[in-house]
Amino acid sequence: MNVLFEQIDRVVIAKLNRPNALNALNTETMYELITALKKYDKSPSVGCFVITGNENIFCAGADIKEMATKNFSQMFQEDFFGYWEVFSKIKTPIIAPVSGYALGGGCELAMMCDIILASESAIFGQPEIKLGVIPGIGGTQRLTSLIGKSKAMDIILSGRNIDVNEAENIGLVSKILPLKNFSKEVLNYAEKISNYSKTALIASKESINQSLECSLKDGIVFERRIFHALFNTSDQKEGMNAFLEKRSANFN
- According to the binding rule CB under 6 A, does residue 47 interact with ligand CAA? no
Cβ 136 to ligand CAA shortest distance, Å = 4
Query: How far from the centroid of its chain's Cα atoms is residue 62's Cα?
Result: 16
Among residues 106, 103, 122, 95, the alpha carbon closest in space to that of 30 is found at 106
Cβ 51 to ligand CAA shortest distance, Å = 15
What is the footprint of ligand CAA within residues 73-102 (CB under 6 A)? 101
- According to the binding rule CB under 6 A, does residue 127 interact with ligand CAA? yes
Q: Which is nearer to ligand CAA, 52 or 195 (CB)?
A: 52
Distance, in Å, from the CA atom of 50 to the CA atom of 135, rounded to the nearest integer, reads: 23
Q: Give the torsion through C-alpha atoms of 74, 77, 80, 82, to 10 deg.
A: 180
For residue 100, the SS3 value is coil
**Which of 47, 53, 93, 135 is the binder for ligand CAA (CB under 6 A)?**
135
Cβ 126 to ligand CAA shortest distance, Å = 7
Query: How far from the centroid of its chain's Cα atoms is residue 89's Cα?
Result: 11
Cβ 210 to ligand CAA shortest distance, Å = 25
- Phi/psi for 12 (5° steps) reads -105, 125
- According to the binding rule CB under 6 A, does residue 63 interact with ligand CAA? yes
- According to the binding rule CB under 6 A, does residue 58 interact with ligand CAA? no
Q: What is the gyration radius of the CA atoms in the chain, in angstroms?
A: 19
> Footprint of ligand CAA on this chain (CB under 6 A)?
21-22, 24, 60-65, 101, 103-105, 108, 127-128, 131, 135-137, 139
